[in-house]
Amino acid sequence: MVKGVKGESTRRYHSPHRAAQARATRVAVLDAARTLFVSKGYAATTVVDIAGAAEVSVDTVYTSVGRKPALLRELVETSISGSDQSVPAQQRDYVRQISETSGARAKLAVYAQAITSIQQRMAPVFVALRDAATTDRDCAALWTEISERRAANMLSFASDLRSTGELRSDLTDRQVADIVWSMNAAEYWVLLVHERSWTPEQFQAWVAEAWARLLLD
């Protein structure tokens, strides 16, 4: 019990229904933003557009997620995590699975499966971010941040692969990381799946085999 300003007793409580409602609103806002950013483009989409598509007020868009740059950031993060919340790299299921898997080829296969699943959600959003980054300062900063974070994560992955003793000795960890980084990019997915009509299964099999051939001794 907490005393109010005039001495009356008020009760602070957690409402599961209210929390679920707020979460559903957040998901609706993100879904609307994703659809509009991908179809209309980031610059052409307004917060009013997003609010209308989500059937909420403009203020609700701001309070549930934030301004347009925050919306785009959350779309990138949730596309990676596969949930409605961002998840740090080391806490993602596939990262733990890779760490627990023995053998470089098996680790590469796990990652190929994971990136195929991620790109089906993320590639359209990432392309929208790339396009927005050419004219919007906040989006340019986010593009750089995500790109550098991916590169750092790939260095960790390269180190994990190196620990198996199966990587080519003539490749540095940085080179291994850069090769994986370039082929797990949304642009690579778009080229093969969207433009050349590869199936996700073909893409997954290709990158797993290509990485094994390029990187393993």
Give the pLDDT of residue 79.
Answer: 87
Coil, strand or helix at 16: helix
Give the pLDDT of residue 2.
Answer: 45
**8-66: CATH number:** 1.10.10.60
What are the sequence ranges of the domains in the chain?
8-66, 82-215
Determine whether domain 82-215 maps to CATH 3.30.420.10. Answer: no
Backbone angles phi, psi at 57, to 5 degrees: -80, 160
Give the pLDDT of residue 48.
Answer: 97
The amino acid present at 184, given as its one-letter code, is N
Give the pLDDT of residue 63.
Answer: 94
DSSP state, residue 3 = E
Give the pLDDT of residue 189.
Answer: 96
d(Cα 123, Cα 165) in Å, to the nearest integer? 33
State the 10-residue block means of pLDDT for the chain, 217 residues long. Answer: 48 70 92 94 94 96 93 90 78 91 96 95 91 92 91 95 97 97 94 97 98 96
Look up the pTM and report it.
0.83
Ramachandran area for residue 63 (φ above 0: left; ψ -120 to 50: alpha; else beta): alpha
Give the pLDDT of residue 205.
Answer: 98
Coil, strand or helix at 9: strand
d(Cα 33, Cα 6) in Å, to the nearest integer? 44
Give the pLDDT of residue 15.
Answer: 72
DSSP per position, 90-155: GGSHHHHHHHH--SHHHHHHHHHHHHHHHHHHHHHHHHHHHHHHTT-HHHHHHHHHHHHHHHHHHH
Give the pLDDT of residue 81.
Answer: 81
